[in-house]
Amino acid sequence: MRGQGYDNGANMKGKKSGLQKIISDMNKRAFYVPCSSHSLNLVVSDAAMSSKYAVSMFSTVESLYDFFSSSVRRWDVLEKYLPNLSLKPLSDTRWESRIDALTPMRFHIGGVYDAQVHISEEFDDVTAHEATSLANQIKNYTFLTSLVIWYDVLLHISVVSKALQTIDINVSEAMEMLEKTKAYFETCRTEEKFVSFLTDSKELATELELEDLTLPRISVSRRRSKKPIHFTYEGRDETVDEPTKRYKIEFYYYLLDIVTTSLDERFNQLKSHCNYFDFLYISEMKNSPLDSQDTKCRKLAALLQHHDTSDIDALELREELKVLSTLLKPGIGAKETLKLTGRYNFCPNVNISLRILLTLPVTVASGERSFSKLKLIKTYL
């Protein structure tokens, strides 16, 4: 079993004492691939704890669900205003829970607000006070702006997460998706994109009849410490007092930086595997120089070697790829190439390399669901 995939816990992926270490000691040519779905969920977790704006927004969303779900009467009021949709709780283990929790707020926030107003007018004083407090929290321009930005971030990550859990995806396709996702977040780090999010949040504010469309000024009660200057060319850090600019720097830009940095760090090992195997896609061979092909073949052969034994021969692999690049149709995939070499029993080095590449696991999420004992117990009950 060359392709190893399991959870991202330290006891599993640890390089010194984890399962990865034990398996690599048994077979130096075994490749560990961190579960992409777990890694992507950790990217969301990193971003969700990145700033007080994000923590406050998710806390309000969770409080809304707790408030309605704790009473059948309150839930009935919510269903009256949201007949085809309901609030969802947040969860650290169910990866789609965050986008599911934000969807009703993003597109039906008027109904949620009206349900709060209804409860504040018809229920007892304690419940009415709690409903009024929550209504004031969502009728806030900072909350609405954070909601719009986070929904866009989670929507793109959710689509990629579902694609990563499909049966026939391989590591190269997964890496390509992740690179495009990272590129999208990098393009969002502009003034124009930030202004478009502000425009969307103003539409929600209009729906709630919110007149104050300014981000609140943050008051600082304690004295700010000054950074000592050691060189004459150093300047003092400027304090950002303008609320919109401060929100853009401390929340929006910071959120995007956390997401892009986390994508790089958590998928570094997957990217490393792709760099070794990406040249095996025959459709790209015609455009690559011969020196590059020879170098990549030698690197892959060295990677698949242990002591005096090796899975492939670098020179034979290079020549086989040259022949296949002239025979196969443009755009043919690695899976089709593997079937062709296996059917006619030729190009053994390409066949072995493709078998290793296509059996590297992208995610273990489907396997965890299939073997879940909780699922068996719930089915039995």
Who contacts 94 (Cβ-Cβ below 8 Å, separation ≥6)?
none
Cα–Cα nearest to 113, from 68, 56, 170: 68
Backbone angles phi, psi at 194, to 5 degrees: -65, -40
Check: CB of residue 23 under 8 Å from CB of residue 32: yes
Distance between CA 129 and CA 365 in Å, rounded? 43
Taking CA atoms, 278 is separated from 156, 174, 289, 325, in Å, by 25, 12, 15, 14
Q: What is the C-alpha to C-alpha distance for residues 376 and 165, in angstroms, rounded to an integer?
A: 21
**CA nearest to 64, candidates 46, 42, 90:** 90
Phi, psi of 236 (to 5 degrees): -75, 150
- At 222 the pLDDT is 47
pLDDT at site 24:
86
One pLDDT digit (tens) per residue for the chain, 381 residues: 788 888 777 788 888 888 888 988 888 888 888 888 888 888 888 888 888 888 899 999 999 999 999 999 999 999 999 988 888 888 777 777 788 899 999 999 999 999 999 999 989 899 999 999 999 999 999 999 999 999 999 999 999 988 888 888 888 889 999 999 999 999 999 999 999 999 999 999 999 988 877 776 544 444 555 556 666 555 555 555 588 888 898 899 999 999 999 999 889 888 888 888 888 876 555 556 667 788 999 999 998 988 888 899 999 998 988 888 888 877 788 888 889 888 888 899 999 999 998 888 888 877 666 666 666 676 777
- Helices marked H in 168-216: 171-187, 191-207
- Fill in the amino acid letter for 334: A
For residue 47, the Cα-to-chain-centroid distance in whole angstroms is 10
Three-state DSSP class for residue 303: helix
DSSP string, 11-24: HHH-TTTSHHHHHH
Token digits of residue 29: 């040519």
As a residue count, the chain comes to 381
Work out the number of other CB atoms within 10 angstroms of the CB of residue 162. Answer: 12
Pairing mode of beta strands 309-310, 3-6: unpaired
Residue type, 234: E
**CA–CA dist 120, 128 (Å, integer):** 4
Residue ranges of alpha helices (H) inside the chain are: 10-13, 19-26, 36-48, 52-69, 72-81, 97-107, 109-122, 125-138, 141-164, 171-187, 191-207, 243-247, 254-266, 268-277, 290-303, 314-327, 334-344, 348-358, 365-370, 373-380
Contacts of 158 (CB under 8 A, 6+ apart): 95, 96, 99
| pLDDT at position 227 | 58
Tell me the C-alpha to C-alpha distance, in Å, between residue 100 and each of 122, 142, 366: 29, 21, 20
Q: What's this model's pTM, rounded to 2 decimal places? A: 0.83
Confirm if 55 and 271 have CB atoms less than 8 A apart: no
Of the chain, the end-to-end C-alpha distance in Å amounts to 36
Cα–Cα distance for residue pair 101/116, rounded to 1 Å: 17
